[in-house]
Structure 1
Amino acid sequence: MHMCTRLKICGITRLEDALLASEYGADAIGFVFYDKSPRYIHPENAEEIIQSLPPFMTVVGLFVNPTQENIDDVLAVCSLDILQLHGDESADFCSAQKRRVIKALPVSEPKDLTRIAAYDCAVLLDAKAPLGIYGGTGNSFDWNMLSGIQHHAPLILAGGIDLNNVTEAKQIQGFYALDVSSGVEVAKGIKDRKKLKELCEKFCD
């Protein structure tokens, strides 16, 4: 059976961007709850956006090396569907969550892909960033190393996906979804309407 690839727009900080993502056909949006990120959003502000979303839009909350208390505090405020753990979280920590989890793994060379097997949840592959930075760089890694990749749970591709390569990214076999952030921005956390529309159109072709 043919698998329909999904699209997530991450780093949402404004209601208008969330509504445009939905209007143009994105399946999910992501909020960053890592306070060192320029795309950070306060949980109460995120919940205001969530309450204005149309039905069937999946909401993802991104965390970096959170404590369980950090996650629980955000969940007490925000109606999140999925947790995206973007730091050095262990497989046990991921498995202990009460929401579905996407574990992000940084990739720069083939041996990095061996870490996928340790996780029983969905895995997002992103370009390895400099030490102390967790994603959001706008860089991609060599997608040629993904040939034949498999995981028993969904795989998601991220890192530097934009208008120029979204068609190529969607054609890579074995991926459930693409995750886009900086590729549709005019500034960090501020989406560009034209870029967002054009990328979604290319994605849906």
Structure 2
Amino acid sequence: MKVKICGISDIETARAAVEYGADAIGFIFAQSKRKITKEKAKEIVAQLPKDVLKVGVFVNEVKEVIEDIANQVGLTHIQLHGDEKDDFCQSLSLPVIKGFSIRNIASLQAIDKFTCEYILLDGPKGKYSGGNGLAFDWSIIPPTAFGGKRVILAGGLNEENILPAILEVNPDMVDVSSGVETDGVKDLNKIKTFITMAKGAN
């Protein structure tokens, strides 16, 4: 099971996450309490192994800004968490992870219209488009959903529910942010436990 740790904002946490087995590190460039500057993200990316995915998270951003940040920081993937359409996803120079806020079965219908590398199933939107720590009903995901698209499961995941979540959805990757924080700050012990449990689910 691949694991993405999102909302990273310092090199120590990024290094620790990778040491514990994280396959992807997420940097948030949209409005969020975890928002990072491209300068800081570039410093962190420079210290990460080449095989670790470096994902930039954007919400309804213009293409020129996304491409500029991706190029300067050294991103490998672009995660879109707003109202972006498939043609916009296809126009970008890097592989795209398209996020969808899932409330009910009807929320799944739009996914068929997208042909990006990954689709990310997130909980309902709160104050921000993602990272709200809200789960959705995993049982609504059909076993053969989305025409073979690669799936990242997010939304309210933590060390207590990660195993049943993986068993229910069988995603290609799991994504966590607030679920590995204590008082709004990334907690290295929680990160290590989460990664260990997720990878043990295999």
**TM, length-normalised to structure 2:** 0.93
Contact 1:29–1:58 (Cα < 8 Å) also in 2: yes
State whether structure 2 residue 93 is matched by structure 1 residue 93. no
- Identity of matched residues, %: 39
- Cα RMSD of the aligned pairs, angstroms, is 1.3
Contact 1:116–1:151 (Cα < 8 Å) also in 2: no
Q: How many residues align?
A: 198
Structure 1 position 173, deviation (Å): 4.2
- 1:105 corresponding residue in structure 2: 100
Structure 1 position 204, deviation (Å): 2.1
- Partner residue of 2:164 out of 164, 168, 175: 168
Deviations 1:30-55 (A, max 9, x none): 00001x21000000100100111123
- Partner residue of 2:37 out of 30, 33, 42: 42
Structure 1 position 153, deviation (Å): 2.2
- 2:67 corresponding residue in structure 1: 72
Q: Secondary structure at the match of 1:150?
A: helix
- Partner residue of 1:124 out of 120, 124, 133: 120
Deviations 1:49-88 (A, max 9, x none): 0111123111100000010111122023110000000011
Residue 94 of structure 1 aligns with an amino acid whose one-letter code is C
Residue 126 of structure 1 aligns with an amino acid whose one-letter code is D
**TM, length-normalised to structure 1:** 0.92
Stretches of structure 1 lacking an aligned partner (at least 5 in a row): none
- 1:16 corresponding residue in structure 2: 12
Stretches of structure 2 lacking an aligned partner (at least 5 in a row): none
- 1:179 corresponding residue in structure 2: 175
State whether structure 2 residue 192 is matched by structure 1 residue 197. yes
The structure in which a higher percent of residues are helix is: 2
| Greater mean alpha carbon deviation, residues 62-71 or residues 172-181 | 172-181
